[in-house]
Structures are given as C-alpha cells and as structure tokens.
Amino acid sequence: MVKRTAQDIRRGNRFDALRRVYAAPGAVSRQDIAAATGLSFATVANLVAELIEADVLVEAGYEDSGGGRPRARLAVNAGRGVLLGVDVAETAVQAQLFDLELRARHGLELPLPQGEVRPADVVDAIATAVEDLLTASDTPPSRVLGAGVSVPGAVEREDGVSVFSPYWSWREVPLRALLAERLAMPLYLDNPLKAATVAEMWFGAGRDIDDLVVVTLRGGVGAGIAIGGTLYRGATNNAGEWGHTCLVLDGRDCRCGKQGCVEAYVSTAGVARTVRELQPESALSHIRDGTATVDALARAAAEGDPVALEAVGRTARYLGVAVANLLNLFNPQALVIGGPTAERLGERLLSQTRRAAADHALPQSLRAVELRLSAVPDNPVTLGAATFALEGFLDDRKTFAPVKAGRRAARSRAAS
Amino acid sequence: MVKRTAQDIRRGNRFDALRRVYAAPGAVSRQDIAAATGLSFATVANLVAELIEADVLVEAGYEDSGGGRPRARLAVNAGRGVLLGVDVAETAVQAQLFDLELRARHGLELPLPQGEVRPADVVDAIATAVEDLLTASDTPPSRVLGAGVSVPGAVEREDGVSVFSPYWSWREVPLRALLAERLAMPLYLDNPLKAATVAEMWFGAGRDIDDLVVVTLRGGVGAGIAIGGTLYRGATNNAGEWGHTCLVLDGRDCRCGKQGCVEAYVSTAGVARTVRELQPESALSHIRDGTATVDALARAAAEGDPVALEAVGRTARYLGVAVANLLNLFNPQALVIGGPTAERLGERLLSQTRRAAADHALPQSLRAVELRLSAVPDNPVTLGAATFALEGFLDDRKTFAPVKAGRRAARSRAAS
C-alpha cells in the first residue's frame, strides 16, 4: 500500500508552485499560483517564503492589484547555480549546462565508440563532457547544484543503476556509483522517455495541462505519461514502454527479441526498414545508419521523391495506429510527439499521423486530445535530465536550511 | 490546469480511510488506518468522527494496545441504509440490493429484447428491477441511499448521459434524467470497466495495492486503471478502452468499425470466431450467441475436446500479448482478469495467458506484476455500481450534517 507522507505532499506542492513560475518567469504572483494550483494562499506563501529563503526565487517587481496592496511578481534566481543535463544516446553523449532558470548556456557532444560500448566508455564520455563544460563556462564545481543523466533502457533511479540497455549487452550497471568516482556533484539517473516528459511538463504542453502523453521517436521509441501533473513511473519505473507494445501480431522482428513491436516500425531503424521494403535498390536503402536514413528521407521527401513520400506515409500510418492505442487507453488532454525523427519529418509526418490516428481512435478520445509536435526547444532529453537535477536539488533537505518560524511567518504576512 | 480543492483532498482521504474499514470490517483501528494511509492520526480521527456522526461507521469493540488506552475497532454500520447496483449488459439487466457494508442481500435479472434495444426498454428494465428488489426485500424507498447503474460504452458521468453504446444504435441518451422520472433516489451512471475496477479497489486486489489494471472480458472488453488508489478516468472518462487498441494491424473486423482490435479476438464474439476459424463444422461453431459459445467451450475443454482446447489456447495467446501491452505501458503492481469469459475458462485460460504475456512483456514489468483472476465474488459490475452510489452518498454534503466543532473535537480526543 502506497503511503503518502506529509513530506511527499509538501514536495508535490513545491514542484507544482515552482512549475508555474518556470512557465511564466517574472510574471506570476503568489495569488496567481494559488489560483492555478488550487492550493490555499497561506500554503503558497509558505512555499514561496521557503524558496526565497533558499535563494531559488526572487521578487521581481510588483503588479497593480487594482487598489489593494501591490502583488510581488516572482522569478527564478537564474544565477543561484548551474544544472547539468546529459543525454546518452546510441552513438553519442550530448551534454548541456543550464542556469537555474534552465536556460541552456553551453553544450557539447562527444561520440561513443562504434559497435559494442562498455560502461567505462559511457562513464568516461559523460565525465569528460561535464568537465569540459565546466571549463568552457568557467564554472567552479561548487556552483553545480546537480547533474541529471539519461541512459536508454530500464533504470533503477533510486539506486542509480542501468538495469538493461537496448543497445549494449550490459546488465545491472551501477552507473551513478561509477560516475561518482569522477564527478563530485549530486547525480540523478533516469531514461530518455522520462526526461523528455518532465521537460514537456515544465516547459512544453505540460505548462497548461496536467494529463498528457509524450511520445519520443529516436533510435528507441517510447512514451512518457503525466497524470495530474505528476510523472507516472509504474511499480518499478518501467511504465511507458509503448515501443514494445505489439502493433502487428507476428510482425517484424524487434531488437527486444519479440515480434511486431511499435519500435520495429517507427524507430529510426524501423523507418529505414520501411524504406528498404519499398525499394531495396533505392539510394536511401543503402544508408546503414537509421538516423542518417531519416535525415536523407526528410530531404528526399521535401524534394518530392515518391519512394520517400510513400515511406513517410507508411511510417505515419504505423505511428498513427500506435498513437490511437495510447489515446484509447489514456484519453489524455494532449499527446505530444518529439524526438529527432519527429523534428526531421515535422508537419509532413504529423499531418498524416493525425489522419491515421483519427481513423483508429474512438471518437470520444479523439475529440478530447490535442495532438502536436513537441515545442520544447533544442533537446528535451538534456533539458529533462537537468530538470531531474533541479527536482533533486529542491528535494534535498540541505537546500532548505531551517528558517526561524517567526521570520517565515513575517515574510508570509508581508506577502499577503 | 486541474485544480485540487481542499474538498477534493478531503474526499480522497475519506475514501482512503473508509476503504481500509471495508477491507477488514471490525478489525481496524484509527491507528491502523493512519499507518496504512500515511495520514496523520489527527486527520484520521477527524474523518472517523465525521463518519461516525453520519452513522456510517460504528465502534465495534476494542483491541488491546499493549498497556496504553484500548483502541476502538471500527466497523461499517450495515443497517444504515441500502445501495443498489445495476449492470446493463448486452442481453439482460442484472440488479442487486446491498446493505451499507456492500453485502449483496437480494438480486434478480431481467432479459432485454433481442436485437435493437431502445433507451425506453433499458429504462423500463432498470426501473422494474429496482422496484422488484425493493418489494422483495421489503425496503421503503426512504432507506435507499443511492443506485449505481453501469451501461456499456462511453458515459458522461457528471451529466448522466450514455454517449455511445457499442451494442445499440443510440447516441447521447440522457439516461439518468429518464430514470429519474421512475426512480426517486440518487442515481449514478458509469460503464462496466470503471465499475469492475472500483469493485476491485474496494474488495479485490486493490485492497492491498494502489496501482493496478483490471481487465474485463465479456461481450465487450476493456481495462480499468487505478493509480495511487484512485480510478484513472482520463480527460473525458474514456480511459481504458484497451478493447479497441490494435493488436493485429489490418486484422479482424471489429464491431467499432476498425480492424484488428483486441476486442475482435477476446470478446465472447471474438472467441466464437476463433472457434469457427478452427473448425467451421464443429457443433461449437453453430451456437449463435457468443456467451453461450464460451459456456459450451468451457465444458468441451474440460472434457478434453481438441478443438476446444486449441481455441482456448489461441484465445490465451491473443489475450496474453494484449495483456503484455498493458504491462509494458503501465508497469502495474497487479493485473486482474475478470468477467464471465475469465470465470468460465478460469485457470485453463489464465495459465496459458500468463505464458503468452511472459513471452511478450519486458522482463522488468513482468517481474513487478502479479497476474491473477479477479477474486471479487459474484458480479463485480453490480458491486462496483453500488460502490459508485456509496461514493456519491459519501460525497453528498447532506450526509455530513454540520457537527459542532466542540463536539467533534471531544470525539477526536476521546479516540486518541
């Protein structure tokens, strides 16, 4: 039986309040947050006082409240420290350095070895990337509030263990412990589906709505699920493995060892296979790397190449039916499609996916949903990984040093 | 943006506390509830005081607390009033009368006309069934706290409208308003997937765990989803339409107008079709009604009939892959399979479904889940419908008449 402790509730409320400030920095007051979250003004004033005390929020001017006392506008104290976000993908490690407002300040990408990659290779690439970012930005390690690391596959986040990698033959790798030998900073481990969804919750479609599904299309594919403004993780942090739901019983072989999985049709390798099935002799069929195939496909489709157009159409049909499955199961307010494949194929893919989803979703769920491309700028996975570090920082008891009760009450009163 | 009001939180806590009493009537104390829910003792004492004041709970003896003050054991006041649960299925209306402890006291079933059924037929059958139950049990209407009605398809529960029926060609039928002309009692409308899931939450697997998926196999099929001890409804109460997710792209025609839906393979009609595909000449293939086919199939399989055994095996494979999709998406603690088809085919279906699910689910999600048949006695849909009426009764401001603050505080102190 799940127990909700007072601390869980407080943390949930803190994130809820803070998300409103990140969604509109410098523009929201305590009153706006109370109205948007349904929390009492007293609760919001208390949470804000704590966040100001911890130098996370600052008051940034006042708004006219129509005759009453002016209301302070809240903003994030961008200079409070830096957060790092790392995205370990199949062929490269991308890392970005963010200020506390989660604006990207510096970024770089390091390639991984081709073929089998050992845990030591990944640890080395991550640590090197982080060290290079700190040097390039002239950031002393003491200013790093935390680093979030996304690795593909199944992750035990509490223990910081990469349980299973879809690309490499490793199992139960204690990645966080290995990284801690190189990097003296709080480290948070999770996977790209979760990271992309958290980015969407703080900076994309999730700013306005609390129930959404975020589909990520890259080398692997999957979905992240936000319910009531909270990332849904499932019993063991493995929820959202939509890429390994069956779309075609006894269909294409999937990397996971099963047949007919969604991933076998709409991952970069799946798209490349669709191209080869359509025209084995086409130039597009001879590109060995899935991501490069999708790049070339996008260019060829833009030039009107009929094989490319047909390949995009078939991909959109597979994707649309698989998206309709999510609509029928989750009946979400929004479904967001992101990741490199969605970026490259863009509206061409989206419009046909919409039509296929409309053909297969139940009308009630179709009417309820907004289906769109991700509007999170840049790489949602690095941004989401950095957001995990932000959440971890905010969870840390050290962040909120004991404040004298009298002083906090005085702040609350002053704010009301 | 979803707002959680103080009232929402209070209602959630009230249901949470009460579910523990229903799970073990006469055996739990306020301290047990606080320990199981994570709520503070003061909050629990307050909720319990309210429920005692409303005659919903009673103190039923004391337990030894090892030297301290004896702790009162709580029980439901079964005689407080009656609740009705109605299950409108494809061919009949089943109705049950429950005491407040949700023990079934009386039940009956009325057939619906064959073929197209009009809303007036359903209204008449429901009203007649309820009136007959009240007469048979000698219950004055004033003792009815509420009636819950489950109708198949899409339901707008707030407005009490049957939006869409999978069996009959009606749309947007204001069923609750039509029923209110015949029945002078609070009426609650929802669908069988939701009802079966709520029954499981209060009386089945959900007594011990908060994240579960409940699959219902009958004329239509679908799933109910409980997350954090709360029924997940989606944006417009249409979540859980697993029966209309695609299992076989371009596969069998489904009643919904699409192809390859899970329902086309594992509904009673889907099972009958599998039998006909296997051996068109078999006696089993000539039964026209899906439910009767499943009944006959269960008997034939028990006698070792090879066609029947093969049909059960194929059904288990379809079901297992579709269940694996749910495991991969939701990573639940438990997945419960219920409904007439599961009852009839029982362990024979379950054991083969388990194997097929194990072949298709990701190992992390498979290890986390307990996969089992529903243990809710009798018809979970009537029980769940009555539970909706209980929830409605508990939500009603009239149930909780204003209690003098001093009196409530005195009760809380006495209880601690």
pLDDT digits (tens, 9 = 90+) for A86-111: 999 988 999 999 999 999 999 999 99
Q: Which helix (H) or strand (E) holds B346?
A: helix B340-360
The predicted pLDDT at position B275 comes to: 95
What would the CATH number be for the domain defined by B80-195+379-395? 3.30.420.40
Length of chain A equals 416
Q: What residue ranges do the domains of chain A occupy?
A: 6-76, 80-195+381-395, 205-373
With bands split at pLDDT 50, 70 and 90, how would you rate the model's confidence at A415?
very low
Residues 6+ apart with CB under 8 A from A219: A89, A90, A91, A152, A167, A267, A268, A269, A290, A291
Amino acid at site A402: P
Same fold, B6-76 and B206-373: no
C-alpha to C-alpha distance for A124 and B273, rounded to whole angstroms: 57
Using the beta-carbon criterion (under 8 Å), do A1 and B209 form an inter-chain contact?
yes
Rg, C-alpha atoms of chain B: 23
The helix-helix angle for A6-23 and A192-203 (nearest 10°) equals: 60
- Are the beta carbons of A267 and A217 closer than 8 angstroms? yes
- B324 lies within 8 A of chain A by CB: yes
8 Å CB contact of B2 and A229: yes
Return residues 228-257 of A near B (CB < 8 Å): 228-229, 232-242, 244-249, 251, 256
Judge: B241–A328 Cβ closer than 8 Å, yes or no: yes
Percentage of the residues of chain B whose pLDDT score is greater than 70: 94
Nearest to B364 among A164, A258, A367 (CB): A164
pLDDT given for residue B75 in this prediction: 95
Residue A208 has pLDDT above 90, yes or no: no
* Strand-strand pairing, B212-217 and B334-338: parallel
Q: Which residues of B touch A40 (CB under 8 A)?
A: 6
CB–CB of B362 and A244 under 8 A? Answer: yes
**CATH code linked to domain B6-76:** 1.10.10.10
**Which amino acid, one-letter code, is at A357?**
A
**Closest C-alpha among A330, A403, A414, A343 to residue A376:** A343
**Cα–Cα distance for residue pair A108/A101, rounded to 1 Å:** 19
For position A5, what pLDDT does the model report? 66
The model's pLDDT over A109-125, given as tens digits with 9 standing for 90+, comes to 999 998 889 999 999 99
Check CB contact under 8 Å for B238 and A325. no
- The residue in chain B having the minimum alpha-carbon distance to the alpha carbon of residue A2 is B210
Q: Do A38 and B209 touch (CB under 8 A)?
A: no
Strand partners, A216: A222, A338
Asked if pLDDT for residue A398 goes beyond 60, the answer is yes
CA nearest A254 in B: which residue? B360
Q: How far apart are alpha carbons A327 and A362 in whole angstroms?
A: 8
CB-nearest to A244 from B238, B328, B330 is B328
CB A369 to CB B6 under 8 A? no
Are B330 and A234 in contact (CB < 8 Å)?
yes
Q: What's the pLDDT score for residue A8? A: 75
pLDDT at B136 over 70: yes
Check residues A230 and A131 and name the one with the higher pLDDT.
A131
Model confidence at A283, pLDDT cuts 50, 70, 90, reads confident
Q: What is the pTM (predicted TM-score) of this model? A: 0.92
- Nearest alpha-carbon partner for B192 in B390, B392, B388: B388
Nearest to B236 among A237, A360, A364 (CB): A364
Q: Between the CA atoms of B170, B173, B179 and B185, what dihedral angle is there, to the nearest 10 degrees? A: 140
What pLDDT score was predicted for residue B412? Answer: 45
**Could you give the CA distance from residue B274 to residue B271 in angstroms, rounded to a whole number?**
5
Task: Quote the pLDDT of residue B166.
Answer: 87
Instruction: Determine phi and psi for A70, rounding to 5 degrees.
Output: -65, 145
Look at residue B132 and tell me whether its pLDDT is greater than 70.
Answer: yes
> Please, which residues 252-291 of chain B have a Cβ atom closer than 8 Å to chain A?
256, 258
| Partner residue opposite B362 with nearest CB, options A38, A227, A238 | A238
Check CB contact under 8 Å for B234 and A241: no
**CA-closest candidate to residue A192, choices A235, A172, A221, A164:** A221
**Model pLDDT for residues B180-193, shown as the tens digit of each residue:** 999 999 999 999 99
Which of B239, B244, B331 lies closest to A234 in CB terms? Answer: B331
Are B216 and B193 within 8 A, CB to CB?
A: yes
pLDDT tens per residue, range B252-285: 999 999 999 999 999 999 999 999 999 888 888 8
Distance from CA of A241 to the nearest CA of B (A): 5
CATH 3.30.420.40 fits A80-195+381-395, yes or no: yes
Using one digit for the tens of pLDDT, what is the confidence trace for A357-379?
999 999 999 999 999 999 998 89
Pick the CATH number of B206-373 from 3.40.190.10, 3.30.420.40, 3.40.50.1580, 3.40.50.10860: 3.30.420.40
Q: Decide yes or no: CATH 3.30.420.40 for domain A205-373.
A: yes
Contact A23, A101 (CB under 8 A): no
